[in-house]
Structure 1
Amino acid sequence: MDCCLSYNRPAVLNSLPSTVKPVKASSFTSSSNFTFNLRLFRPLGCLVRTSNRRALIVEASAEASRSQCDYSGLNTPLQPKSPAGKFLSSVLLNDRGYFHVAVAEQLEQLVADSHEALTRMNLSLGSDEACLHRRIAGLREHECQTAVEDVMYMLIFYKFSEIRVHLVPRLSQCIYNGRLEIWPSKDWELESIHSLEVLEMIREHLTTVVGWRANSNVTDNWATTQIQRLQLCRIYAASILYGYFLKSAALRHYLELSLDEVNYDLGISTDSHSPCSELWSYGSKNIVFGQTSRIRTTSLGQLSYSQEYNREKLKGYVMGFDPETLQMCAKPKSKVAVNLIEKHSCALFADEKMGLLETGEVISTSLASLKRLVLEAIAFGSFLWDTEEYVNSVCKLAEN
């Protein structure tokens, strides 16, 4: 049963890279030989308004201009619109222990309602009521799309709350006199969900996109820096995709290592007729990526060439990806996930009153606040991967 089968509007993330491309001089890069090309980010249509006027920047000291973002309640950039989303937000605030049960019930109900509408449409084919039931099924599909997005968003919010981190509300609520400061930073909590190998790659990403350095002092971290709001929006959206990519790549790495270790511990060779022998003969990369791999084995009692190769760190493993594998890991699997990235980014960076983003608007901030936003985006991408897997197991999502 497909839920949220189709979208009537064009591809939602034209401003986001759909694949990971080789390093070019025009891209922000990392030493891992892959990059998210910022030039691929065309203006987000829901946000951008061209303006020739210069943005006025009001300089102020850090203490005088620091504003406290409002983290009370469910003050997220996106607000649930569907009955399912509103119900889950209420459960989150009033009965957290019931939350996962409520999510499962809402997803099951969405599947049942959508299935009922499609069944009625199919039964009415050729009758005078066929047109009516077709319209009803279309409306149910649209409602299902909105509801599933809200459910996934609430699941992501719940994951943030488990590590005691609130999503940053609309930036307009955190900017005072043209200065953006996000406090408390919650850097430790946002880093705690990642392995050491993933953290190493995240820190390189931070250096590349915002210029953060691990050995920088407090004065440097809180010194005033300036950035266009649209550019910051692009960095945030790209970092969500990067977090999604890292989660996918790390799990594939772990699975491949596990397959190698199982075969070695069982003493399985290519001559064996055990159920695992056929898998081994094609190589574990073929199992994980659906591709033919060049893996040769040695005699029993010795580590194979593939095992020695795969025991390297995640960074080296990722550097060995071919373009198809990079795209497979980096591209969100469902349209709902893609739509959620755009909507969340739009809601976070848009002006709260006008709903638009001036292309030339410049804000003053600090490396510490930029780091906080990037770490949140990467965590959002990681949680999105988990949430997408769970929801897809209950309610089949339309592929991206």
Structure 2
Amino acid sequence: MDCGLSPSLLNSSPFAGKSVLAPTTPAFRFGFPNSRVGGSGIGWRRALVVAASGGRASRSQCEFSGLNAPLEPTTPSGRFLSTVFQNDREYFPLAVEKQLEQLAYDRDEAAARMTLSLASDEACLHRRIAELRALDCGAAVEDVMYMSILYKFSEIRVRLVPRLSKCIYNGRLEICPSRDWELESIHSLEALEMVKEHLTTVVGWRANSKVTDNWAPTQVQRLHLCRVYAASILYGYFLKSASLRHHLEQSLDGGLSHLSTQVCPLGSKNVALSQGGGGMQPLLTGPISFVQGEKHETLKSYVMGFDPETLQMCAKPKSKSAMNLIERQSSALFGDERSGLLLESNEVILTSLASLKRIVLEAIAFGSFLWETEEYVNNIYDLEAN
């Protein structure tokens, strides 16, 4: 699927990237929340708005109404979960589990029939049926993963920004309310420090900025912003993986013998899971590189010690489904309204540093949620390795 994003972008290091604009504007100082914002209260139900210009609310707003995410479910499983998400959210986690179990059964049944018919005259027919079933199930699983990510955003009372083509008025894009606090709340303090550095690198966000600087007009090419968004999803994915590796290795270094783990394969990679009060929680991607007696005081110093192989292992999506979702989400958000494809053009969007920060924070959160969703889905439905 060609979504207009180059393979080099999606396979690049999360530390690479250029600033959207000259880094002359001071940056906003992050707040550090004590806990994640959870639940689905009044704030979630209230309509959120993307304001494309400050003083013309009646003409320059696009509501986050209904689902209204950049991607729309196209499979029966996705449409069913979309209905559940909007009308019976308490049932949503169980509905996801049941859909994945059914998809795994359908795919495996078709594969089994193909195997049994290898010596018969119907071998070609059953092979074709199995191939089509695998494609259908793969598309459905991507919808299930996407809806699961939307559900995770809803738990912090944040909706994804709709297609930008619906939200740009007179060439100006502004996102309000920003929901920055909620998007920051999913990260640990150490991870948040690395998020701040990423913001400085890709959009030129600096410390101690003034409000007038944050909302001053800023120009950015749509194509470049799309690439920043995709790279930031990868960065969020990497940060989640690296943070959990760091946590596990620090736990081992501290001699926590009560840590109970179970290894779940995904292709040639391993994921260590910890049995906690909330069920199996992913802790580690790939083989443990822990060296007895070695300490890493901060997440940043731990990550800086990665060799190229470990860095690539943490940064690269492990499944093709996750890779496809990154491309599809980025393309749908920034692409053409009709085709959904990203056009190779030099179109310039007028926006602000505040809105750029919101877009990048969303992308990082998307990557983090994608990592969690991928691990959960793979425990029920074997994803194809990337």
TM-score interval for Structure 1 and Structure 2 normalised by the shorter chain: 0.7 to 0.9
Residue equivalent to 2:369: 383
Mapped to 1, the partners of 2:146 and 2:117 lie a distance apart of 35
Report the Cα offset of residue 380 of structure 1: 0.1
List gaps (5 residues or longer) in structure 2.
20-51, 260-283
Could you say which residue in structure 2 is the equivalent of 1:201? 194
- Structure 2 residue aligned with 1:179, among 158, 172, 189? 172
Q: Which amino acid aligns with 1:242?
A: Y
Matches of residues 252-331 of structure 1 in structure 2 within 5 Å?
252-262=245-255, 290=287, 295=291, 304=293, 306=294, 309-310=295-296, 312-331=297-316
The CA RMSD measured in Å over matched residues stands at: 2.6
Partner of 1:154: 147
Q: Which runs of 5+ in 1 are unaligned?
A: 1-7, 30-59, 267-286, 297-303
Query: Is 1:164 matched with 2:146?
Result: no
Matched, 1:344 2:336: no
**CA deviation vs aligned residue, 1:47-100 (integer Å, no higher than 9, x gap):** xxxxxxxxxxxxx97434993232011001000011000000000011111111
Find the counterpart in structure 1 of residue 381 from structure 2.
395
Using a 3 Å threshold, how does the CA distance of structure 1 residues 347 and 105 change in structure 2: closer, same or farther? same
How many angstroms apart in 1 are the aligned matches of 2:15 and 2:201? 15
AA in 2 matched with 1:63: G
Match of 1:299 in 2: none
Aligned partners of 2:96, 2:188: CA distance in 1, in Å? Answer: 28
Q: Deviations over 1:339-366 (max 9, x none)?
A: 1100111111012135342421111000
The aligned residue for residue 134 of structure 1 is: 127
CA positional deviation for 1:290: 3.8
In the alignment, which residue of structure 2 is the partner of 1:369?
355
Dislocated runs of 4+, deviation >4 Å: 8-13, 263-266
Aligned counterparts of 1:360 and 1:63: Cα–Cα separation in 2:
28
Select 1:63's aligned residue among 42, 55, 66.
55
Give the direction of change, closer, same or farther, for the CA distance of 1:70–1:354 in structure 2 (3 Å limit).
same
Secondary structure at 2:218 match in 1: strand
Cα distance change of structure 1 residues 124 and 76 upon mapping to structure 2, 3 Å threshold:
same
* 1:247 and 1:382 in contact (8 A); partners too: yes
**Equivalent pair of 1:156/1:387 in contact (CA under 8 Å):** yes
| Secondary structure of 1:207 counterpart | helix
Q: Hey, what does 1:239 align to over in structure 2? A: 232
CA distance in 2, matches of 1:98, 1:140: 27
Residues 14, 232 of structure 2: 8 Å contact kept? no
Q: Match of 1:92?
A: 85
Match of 1:335 among 304, 316, 320: 320
What is the number of residues matched between the two proteins? 328
The correspondence for 1:226, drawn from 214, 219, 241, is 219
Partner of residue 249, structure 1: 242
The change in CA–CA distance for 1:288 and 1:258 in structure 2 (over 3 A counts) is farther
Aligned in 2, Cα 1:229/1:127: closer, same or farther, shift over 3 Å?
same
More moved, 370-379 vs 112-121: 112-121
Rg larger for: 1
- Rounded Cα–Cα distance in structure 2 between residues aligned with 1:21 and 1:61: 32
Give yes or no for contact 1:70–1:173 (8 Å, CA) kept in 2: no
SS at match of 2:190: helix
Greater fraction of residues in helix:
1
| CA distance in structure 1 between the aligned counterparts of 2:124 and 2:153, rounded to whole angstroms | 44
1:28 CA drift (Å): 3.3
Contact kept in structure 2, 1:252 and 1:288, CA below 8 Å? yes
Quick one: which of 18, 28, 31 aligns to 1:28?
Answer: 18
SS at match of 1:175: coil
- What CA distance in whole angstroms lies between the structure 2 residues aligned with 1:11 and 1:371? 23
In the alignment, residue 318 of structure 2 is paired with which amino acid? K
Aligned partner of residue 162 in structure 2, secondary structure: coil
Task: Decide whether the 8 Å contact of 2:5 with 2:227 is kept in 1.
Answer: no
SS at match of 2:255: helix
How far is 1:9 from its partner? 8.5
Shift of the 292–375 alpha-carbon distance from structure 1 to 2, 3 Å rule, reads closer
Percent identity, please: 67
Q: Distance in 2 between matches of 1:143 and 1:322?
A: 38
Contact 2:81–2:144 (CA under 8 A) maintained in structure 1: yes
Change (3 A) 1:183 1:288: closer
User: Letter of the aligned partner of 1:236 in structure 2?
Assistant: Y
Of 88, 104, 109, 2:102 maps to: 109
SS at match of 1:363: strand
Residues 308-343 of structure 1: per-residue CA shift (max 9 Å, x gap): x32x11111111111111101100111110011001
